Homo-oligomer: A and B are copies of this chain.
Amino acid sequence: MTKWVYAFGDGKAEGQAGMKNLLGGKGANLAEMSNLGLPVPPGFSITTEVCTHYYANRETYPTDLKDQVDAAIKKVGELAHGNFGDPAKPLLVSVRSGARVSMPGMMDTVLNLGLNAATTEGLAKLTGDARFAYDSYRRFIQMYSDVVLGVEHSTFEEILDEEKDAKGVELDTDLDAEDLKRIADRFKKSVEKELKKPFPEDVQEQLWGAIGAVFGSWESPRANTYRKLHNIPADWGTAVTVQAMVFGNRGETSATGVAFTRDPATGEKLLYGEFLINAQGEDVVAGIRTPQPISKIVRERQGGKKPSMEEAMPKAYDELKAIGERLEQHYRDMQDVEFTVQEGKLFMLQTRSGKRTAEAALKAAVDMVREKLIDQDTAVSRVDPAALDQLLHPTLDPDAPKVEIAAGLGASPGAATGEVVFTADEAEKLAADNHDVILVRTETSPEDIHGMHAAKGILTARGGMTSHAAVVARGMGRPCVSGAGSLKIDIAKGEMTSGGFTVKRGEVITIDGAAGKVYKGAVKMRQPELTGDFSTLMAWADAVRTLKVRTNADTPVDAATARKFGAQGIGLCRTEHMFFESDRIVAVRQMILADTEAERKAALDKLLPIQRGDFEGIFKTMEGLPVTIRLLDPPLHEFLPHKESEIAEVSKASGVSVEKLKARAAALHESNPMLGHRGCRLGITYPEIYEMQARAILEAAANVVAAGGKPVQLEIMVPLVGYKAELDRLAARIAEVAEDIKKAKGSVPEYMIGTMIELPRAALRASEIAETAEFFSFGTNDLTQTTLGLSRDDAGMFLNEYINKGVIARDPFVSIDVDGVGELIRIAATRGRQTRNSLKLGICGEHGGDPDSIRFCHDTGLDYVSCSPFRVPVARLAAAQAALAERKRKS
């Protein structure tokens, strides 16, 4: 005989905390608390296997379930001194769903089940409290009708309001027994009218109705969607927990509440939560009466006037505090509990690990190590790496008033306030005059870099999480909201509109780059504080992780920021970003406009000392750490002016005719530049460009050493290789440059040559490419684009819809598509290392800062991830968690 029902109560239980899969989270923890001897009302859980059986057998129950439930409820009655359905000694129960993980769309709770006309009367007699009995009854009808029978709850609220109005009172507590009895009657009639059948009086019918509603809700559309998105198998099923009621609505010595064992916002160790006297659970949520804080100190800080639980019910409070500490000791984590005080006696109704902010998670984790509650590794695994971002950037005060103008993607975290400007030049100009500005563009392009740098924040109307604006903003640590689709920008008029709002150039807005929101005017902010706890936790993380963390940095400033955050090298230095600055773009354009190799070389000769200077700055900052430098990657037309006014300007400055400029731009135009003449393809057709870059890199490295600096670990990276022959040709050219320098100066710095793996072909041919390449860096942005055939600049048009409709679970530009792109990475890693055992493997796409992707990189055996400077701490922590997860799997 299968055991479908597990009982708990009276200091013991048939289940325990480890049985979440069978009993659901709630049921398992109630059993555990029972076993601990905590005051838990008796009850039982119907297992998730019943749910599986239910759906496998055309929505029917196992034949022996009823007997087991009957027996269990009898036992509950014995412990609770009542009989289910017995007017003389009525037993009331709550019925709740309990999946392994909590899930939106599931039926939540029915309280006070077991009441009907007769048992309510009986309860009134037994307790001598008719008001309590009828208050419970009307609550039951209301709740049961809503969640089990599917009756609109507004019906009940209307009746309740009418009755209160008629009596001239405001609060439910001002209604007396008579009122409540009448209200219950009206509720029942209204249900009967709507459903064309009476509200169930039979307590068995009530019970099985509620159980059926829980199982039915497992396949609700909302639950289904949620499961699909979170990869939760449908056959997990839900459990149902039935528990004897205790009553927080038995008068002034009764109460109900929720509490955290530490402050979930800060992590401070105190009982943090709210309670309501003479109420049942749903009142706390409903917000009809304002609950009070549990702890006195919190009440004082908030300036509350009504007493805290600590003051109003000191005995129950002390007991709750002791239980909280007991639970923390037992679970070794901060708990989130529900409780009820019935006539002075405390009962525990739920416990689970408490949700917390990054700040709280950090403090609690470090504190608990100090309290010897947990070890360092556990502390490391307790903090969500993705949430660390909150700690590194200013955030908006959650309580500050705000007027939302527009919403887009939270593309780069942090908040910023400033005057709106619509061009990069304007941003630069105003910033130079000490104005804080927000640069607002339809999209940004590399030509906007100086303006983005000058701005406090960036807002775009178009583009996804890996659009130019998003990537560059994250790299610079600037807050950015991208793809705010409702935004219309009219540069000519000097204004932007969104919905009903119009904002003119110079007016102030505030953006929240974490939430992707745009607000009118200045909004109050909170500055981040990096506490000692942060460095403590990071040090613990570093002790655990095996994956190295580098940064993507193109300037000494970025490099320095990243080192401050713990970067162990540069994984991607994009040389082209150096090409856009005003002192060099002229020479770059001369190079592009050159008609002959000789002209091109002359232009490159001008660029050489500038690039060499750039590299010297970066190498000095990195003090001997590895630096991966990617040779020129973007298509040349990105460097040419496109607007008439710019073309005219460039023509004037360069002496090249407007016609020729336009003709060259037209000749360089591509239908799909992402798949065009870029990366090493440029190096093949214009070898002198890469030669200049190689020379600049090698000479810079030599100069830094000559000036007494540490020799940098040079990794020269050739982008967009698809064929070994491409890398061979270019590696040979670079070797010639090195040989040349050696001849001239007597020596040349050592360097490694490698490639980005960003084309599926490169991944597949990794074995032969590794014959030449000494390292691979996975360019997962481009590899995602090619593997999925998906342009990151254009995907915004439909990717959100894909996610909303559940076609895909996560934006593949944010978190690596492990099944597709991931397989190619695994293939490349395996084949590459087969050829060259020492092959260094890293990742330098935007995924390098995404915790899930970092776990994938760890599991795939990569040597390092590289991410934008502000993501370095996130990556360090995620890498540590990946190492811990692996250790756990293997132990």
Chain A residues at the B interface, C-beta cutoff of 8 Å: 670-677, 681, 684-685, 720, 722-723, 725-726, 729, 758-761, 764-765, 782, 785-791, 793-795, 797-798, 801-802, 805-808, 817, 819-821, 823-824
A684 touches B801 (CB 8 A): yes
A806 touches B725 (CB 8 A): yes
Given the contacts A765-B820, A819-B765, A820-B765, A787 and B801 also touching, CB distance less than 8 Å: no
Smallest Cβ-Cβ distance to A782: which chain B residue: B789
Partner of A722, one of B685, B764, B790: B790
Taking CB atoms, residues of chain B closer than 8 Å to A684 are 798, 801-802, 805, 807
CA distance A759 to B722 in the complex (A): 16
Distance (whole angstroms) from the CB of A64 to the closest CB of chain B: 37
Taking CB atoms, residues of chain B closer than 8 Å to A794 are 670-673, 675-677
Taking CB atoms, residues of chain B closer than 8 Å to A674 are 671-672, 675, 789, 791
A788 touches B824 (CB 8 A): no
CA distance A805 to B722 in the complex (A): 16
CA distance A61 to B725 in the complex (A): 32
A798 touches B675 (CB 8 A): no
Given contact pairs A676-B797, A729-B807, A764-B787, enumerate 13 new A-B contacts (beta carbons under 8 Å).
Answer: A670-B794, A672-B672, A672-B673, A672-B794, A673-B794, A674-B791, A675-B790, A676-B795, A722-B789, A725-B806, A761-B819, A764-B819, A782-B789
Partner of A672, one of B720, B726, B793, B798: B793
CA distance A787 to B820 in the complex (A): 13
Partner of A723, one of B670, B795, B807: B807
Given the contacts A782-B789, A801-B685, A821 and B761 also touching, CB distance less than 8 Å: yes
A761 touches B782 (CB 8 A): no
B675 touches A808 (CB 8 A): no
CA distance A765 to B819 in the complex (A): 8
Distance (whole angstroms) from the CB of A133 to the closest CB of chain B: 52
Given the contacts A681-B798, A797-B677, A791 and B821 also touching, CB distance less than 8 Å: no
Distance (whole angstroms) from the CB of A727 to the closest CB of chain B: 10
9 residue pairs bridging A and B, Cβ less than 8 Å apart: A670-B794, A672-B791, A674-B789, A675-B675, A681-B802, A684-B802, A684-B805, A722-B820, A764-B823
Distance (whole angstroms) from the CB of A444 to the closest CB of chain B: 13
Partner of A760, one of B765, B782, B787: B787
Taking CB atoms, residues of chain B closer than 8 Å to A802 are 681, 684
A677 touches B789 (CB 8 A): no
Taking CB atoms, residues of chain B closer than 8 Å to A821 are 761
Taking CB atoms, residues of chain B closer than 8 Å to A824 are 760, 764
Given the contacts A729-B807, A794-B671, A788 and B677 also touching, CB distance less than 8 Å: no
Q: How many copies does the complex hold?
A: 2
Partner of A820, one of B760, B793, B798: B760
Query: Most chain-B Cβ atoms within 10 A of its Cβ — which of A681, A726, A802, A821?
Result: A681
Smallest Cβ-Cβ distance to A721: which chain B residue: B789
Distance (whole angstroms) from the CB of A634 to the closest CB of chain B: 12
Query: Most chain-B Cβ atoms within 10 A of its Cβ — which of A672, A725, A790?
Result: A672
Distance (whole angstroms) from the CB of A53 to the closest CB of chain B: 26
Distance (whole angstroms) from the CB of A51 to the closest CB of chain B: 25
CA distance A806 to B675 in the complex (A): 21
CA distance A759 to B685 in the complex (A): 28
CA distance A435 to B789 in the complex (A): 43
Smallest Cβ-Cβ distance to A680: which chain B residue: B807
Partner of A759, one of B765, B788, B805: B788
Query: Most chain-B Cβ atoms within 10 A of its Cβ — which of A760, A787, A805?
Result: A760
CA distance A790 to B729 in the complex (A): 19
Given the contacts A671-B794, A794-B672, A801-B685, A788 and B761 also touching, CB distance less than 8 Å: yes
Distance (whole angstroms) from the CB of A460 to the closest CB of chain B: 14
CA distance A723 to B674 in the complex (A): 22
CA distance A671 to B824 in the complex (A): 25
CA distance A806 to B728 in the complex (A): 12
Taking CB atoms, residues of chain B closer than 8 Å to A723 are 807-808
Smallest Cβ-Cβ distance to A808: which chain B residue: B723
CA distance A791 to B791 in the complex (A): 13
Taking CB atoms, residues of chain B closer than 8 Å to A764 are 787, 819-820, 823-824
Taking CB atoms, residues of chain B closer than 8 Å to A676 are 791, 794-795, 797
Distance (whole angstroms) from the CB of A733 to the closest CB of chain B: 12
Partner of A675, one of B758, B791, B820: B791
CA distance A819 to B672 in the complex (A): 24
Taking CB atoms, residues of chain B closer than 8 Å to A725 are 806-808
Taking CB atoms, residues of chain B closer than 8 Å to A801 are 684-685
CA distance A789 to B672 in the complex (A): 10
Smallest Cβ-Cβ distance to A676: which chain B residue: B794
B675 touches A789 (CB 8 A): yes
CA distance A794 to B729 in the complex (A): 22
Distance (whole angstroms) from the CB of A73 to the closest CB of chain B: 43
A793 touches B671 (CB 8 A): yes
CA distance A674 to B673 in the complex (A): 10
Given the contacts A760-B820, A765-B820, A819-B765, A791 and B685 also touching, CB distance less than 8 Å: no
CA distance A723 to B802 in the complex (A): 11
Distance (whole angstroms) from the CB of A617 to the closest CB of chain B: 32
CA distance A240 to B241 in the complex (A): 93
CA distance A658 to B681 in the complex (A): 41
Distance (whole angstroms) from the CB of A485 to the closest CB of chain B: 10
The 9 closest A-B pairs by CB, nearest first: A761-B820, A675-B791, A672-B791, A676-B794, A760-B760, A671-B793, A759-B789, A670-B794, A672-B674
Distance (whole angstroms) from the CB of A763 to the closest CB of chain B: 9
Given the contacts A685-B801, A723-B807, A765-B819, A791 and B670 also touching, CB distance less than 8 Å: yes
CA distance A807 to B807 in the complex (A): 40
B673 touches A726 (CB 8 A): no
Partner of A786, one of B786, B797, B807, B817: B786
Distance (whole angstroms) from the CB of A229 to the closest CB of chain B: 11
Taking CB atoms, residues of chain B closer than 8 Å to A729 are 805, 807
Query: Most chain-B Cβ atoms within 10 A of its Cβ — which of A670, A685, A764, A824?
Result: A764
A758 touches B789 (CB 8 A): yes
Taking CB atoms, residues of chain B closer than 8 Å to A806 are 725
Taking CB atoms, residues of chain B closer than 8 Å to A675 are 672, 674-675, 785, 789-791, 794
